[in-house]
Amino acid sequence: MAKNYQAEIVGVFGTPVAENPTGAMQEAAFAAAGLNWRYLTLEVQPSELGRAVDGARAMSFRGFNLTIPHKVAVIPHLDGLSREAELIGAVNTVKMVRGKWIGENTDGRGFLRGLRDDAGVDPAGKRVVMMGAGGAARAIAAELILADVARLTVVNRSVHRGLGLVQDLKTKTGANIEFVEWPDPCLSLPEDTDVLVNATSIGLYPNVEAMPEVDLRSAPAGMIVCDAVFNPAETMLLGNARARGLRTLDGLSMLVYQGVIGFELWTGVKAPEKVMKDALKAELIG
């Protein structure tokens, strides 16, 4: 039988993209699963996004990820969206399905998988306070609503962005979701809060000394503190929460699981999760 030298191609389009560690995680997974697949980390300018999507079709890519600044801008170039991507209004993973580019969003699902599997918390019926209203926050909020949280409070610095997110998701789902402008000098948590999520970029490298202005003394004892920031994995917020005896979930968990879900969507093969976790940790922590 003739040998097959043709690899299946996926990748990520973004700018700047050079420091994105997803390729190392996916390539390690392909090798471990014995798949002749490649993951290319590709610099794509906004003005070239449409041509990049057409080029991926021409070269029979199996799919691709989108990162900053393409997650919303890619939508007009696709043939369809999953329910989640529609609700979120952004796409981070695209898959070729019977000749059509279908947009998915695995960010929020990745967060939820981490909450359930790594932290052992079922979001159904929980009262959640989420700080932030950008892309990551939108994805997390949509999935929390789909997972039937009892209440979601969105706290954001810019009222316009926070209210926009809340009104949009309320209109689309009818969920119990409210907006609170970030109080001065700091956020005090309702005493029945089950889950606190930082979905802002506060604490992201190189501003590792920064922490969202939240009074952790107001946190009830059983509450879990989750951070979307993955670089560093041990943020100031998580360190302070642990020092107060609170449980925590880091942003690496969300990052690994969004990749695990993407791997399985593209290949149809069960992802080697431990390999992916280890590869990502090696890249980010060393």
- Identify which of 100, 20, 106 has the alpha carbon closest to the alpha carbon of residue 56: 100
Nearer to ligand NDP, 11 or 96 (CB): 11
Q: Does 188 bind ligand NDP (CB under 6 A)?
A: no
| 102-136 residues labelled b (16+ CB within 10 A) or e (exposed) | bbbbbbbbbbbbbbeebbebebeebbbbbbbbbbb
Q: How far apart are CA 178 and CA 35, in angstroms?
A: 45
Nearer to ligand NDP, 25 or 96 (CB): 25
Lay out the site mask for ligand NDP across 215-234 (x = CB under 6 A, - = otherwise): -------------xxx----
CA 244 to each of CA 151, 202, 220, 224, 285: distance values in angstroms, whole numbers, following the listed order: 24, 20, 11, 11, 24
3-state secondary structure of 248: strand
CA–chain centroid gap for 141, Å, is 11
Of 30-38, 154-162, 173-181, 188-196, which part binds ligand NDP (CB under 6 A)?
154-162
Of 12-20, 96-104, 194-202, 274-282, which part binds ligand NDP (CB under 6 A)?
194-202
CA dihedral over 126, 132, 136, 137, signed as positive or negative: positive
Q: Where are the alpha helices (DSSP H) in the chain?
A: 22-32, 49-58, 83-88, 107-113, 135-146, 159-173, 236-243, 251-267, 273-284
Q: How far apart are CA 103 and CA 90, in angstroms?
A: 8
Q: Does 151 bind ligand NDP (CB under 6 A)?
A: no
Nearer to ligand NDP, 45 or 201 (CB): 201
Residue in 108, 110, 232, 262 binding ligand NDP, rule: CB under 6 A: 110
- Identify which of 32, 228, 229, 233 has the alpha carbon closest to the alpha carbon of residue 141: 228
Of 74-82, 95-103, 131-139, 264-272, which part binds ligand NDP (CB under 6 A)?
131-139
Q: Does 179 bind ligand NDP (CB under 6 A)?
A: no
Q: Does 156 bind ligand NDP (CB under 6 A)?
A: yes
Residue in 151, 161, 170, 172 binding ligand NDP, rule: CB under 6 A: 161
Q: How far apart are CA 62 and CA 273, in angstroms?
A: 21
Min dist. Cβ of residue 214 to ligand NDP (A)? 11
Q: Does 133 bind ligand NDP (CB under 6 A)?
A: yes
Of 22-30, 76-84, 253-261, 263-271, which part binds ligand NDP (CB under 6 A)?
253-261
Catalytic amino acids? 71
Q: Does 255 bind ligand NDP (CB under 6 A)?
A: yes
Q: Does 204 bind ligand NDP (CB under 6 A)?
A: yes
Min dist. Cβ of residue 212 to ligand NDP (A)? 7
User: Is the distance from CB of 261 to CB of 245 less than 8 angstroms?
Assistant: no
Q: Does 141 bind ligand NDP (CB under 6 A)?
A: no
Chain residues in the site for ligand NDP (CB under 6 A): 107, 110, 132-137, 156-158, 161, 199-202, 204, 228-230, 251, 254-255, 258
